[in-house]
Amino acid sequence: MLIVELLIDVGDAMGANVTNTMCEGIAPLIEKLTGGKTLLRILSNYSTRRMVKATAIFDKESVGGEEVVDNMIHAYQFAKHDVYRAVTHNKGIMNGIIAVANATGQDSRAIEAAANAYASRSGQYRSLSEWTKDLDGNLVGTLEIPLSVGIVGGIINVHPVAKICTKILDAESAKEMACIITATGLAQNFSAMRALATDGIQKGHMRLHARNLASAAGASTEEKIRKLVQGNTVFVIGSGPSLSYAIPKLKNLKK
């Protein structure tokens, strides 16, 4: 088996169409040179020539102090060495990445596949991010991933939502868009890890669930939703959020 790789500068596009076109276009020449037959003529979504790295330093006091910083680093070490934790850890990173990708018309399936392949590059599935302390004890986070995105081509210039979101982000190049997306993934990871290292993840999750229940119960305005959630009126003590409990509370609120 002979594998031929084409390295193509696709500019500010994600590049799938132009890459596939070039692969198919060069196939006859490859057959002529080798005397063989070409079979697969397609791009690889494992874009290791388009690596993006985001780094952030969080002041230790702003994070919550030395103990919180240490706990967050312990959480990272857990994800680095345990595949069961690593999957959930990386899923949280992808929550941020895929949100921006979907909003701006990127190929989210390609991004997800490449990220998971990169997480397994050592032979073991590991954390995509890395968390350490600097000499002053501040928390340092780094996220590096292969990321093929664009600001032209595909549905980016056609879909109205993708056009608006790309304009809001003011990304002037594919590289800048990739940096924005990667930084969002790192920020999402920081948020989740800090929650895990302090109050636990369910505090935020249950608050979001309570908001959803308030809406489902019929709260039609932001003010009503806020009053229900702040007053914990959509919660049944000991059993979590309850729609059946929220509906009568909303009726009382309307009186």
pLDDT digits (tens, 9 = 90+) for 98-143: 999 999 999 999 999 999 999 999 999 999 999 999 999 999 999 9
**How many domains in the chain?**
3
pLDDT (mean) for 161-172: 96
- Strand 129-133 relative to strand 139-146, pairing: antiparallel
Same domain flag for 156 and 137: yes
Q: Which residues of 73-84 are buried (b: 16+ CB within 10 A; e: fewer)?
A: bebbeebbebee
Tell me which amino acid residue 77 is.
Answer: Q
Same domain flag for 73 and 158: yes
CA atoms of 162 and 168, how far apart (whole Å):
10
Same domain flag for 104 and 173: yes
Same domain flag for 93 and 154: yes
**Per-residue confidence (pLDDT) for residue 224, from 0 to 100:** 53
Q: Tokens 């992808």 belong to which residue?
A: 94
Q: Kind and range of the H or E element at 241? A: strand 240-241
Same domain flag for 103 and 146: yes
Q: Would the pLDDT of 250 be above 80?
A: no
Residue 157: pLDDT band (50, 70, 90) is confident
**Radius of gyration for the alpha carbons in the chain, expressed in angstroms and rounded:** 23
**Per-residue confidence (pLDDT) for residue 204, from 0 to 100:** 47
Same domain flag for 122 and 240: no
For 102, the token pair is 């979907």
Same domain flag for 119 and 137: yes
List Cβ<8 Å contacts ≥24 apart for 172-178: 173/12, 174/11, 174/12, 174/13, 174/14, 174/149, 174/150, 175/52, 177/104, 177/149, 177/150, 177/151, 178/50, 178/52, 178/147, 178/149
- Domain containing 35 equals 1-43
| 184 Cα distance to chain centroid | 7
**Per-residue confidence (pLDDT) for residue 152, from 0 to 100:** 95
- Angle 199-204-209 from CA coordinates, rounded to 5°: 145
**Per-residue confidence (pLDDT) for residue 229, from 0 to 100:** 56
Same domain flag for 162 and 237: no
Of 200, 220, 244, which marks where a domain is finished?
200
Same domain flag for 189 and 248: no
Same domain flag for 78 and 96: yes
pLDDT > 90 fraction of the chain, expressed in percent and rounded: 75
Q: pTM for the full model?
A: 0.82
Q: In this structure, what CATH number is given to the domain that contains residue 32?
A: 3.30.70.420
Q: Would the pLDDT of 234 be above 80?
A: no
Residue 123 Ramachandran class (φ > 0 left, ψ -120 to 50 alpha, else beta) = left
Same domain flag for 71 and 34: no
Same domain flag for 189 and 222: no
Name the more confident of 216 and 5.
Answer: 5
Q: Would the pLDDT of 233 be above 90?
A: no
Q: In this structure, what CATH number is given to the domain that contains residue 250?
A: 1.10.8
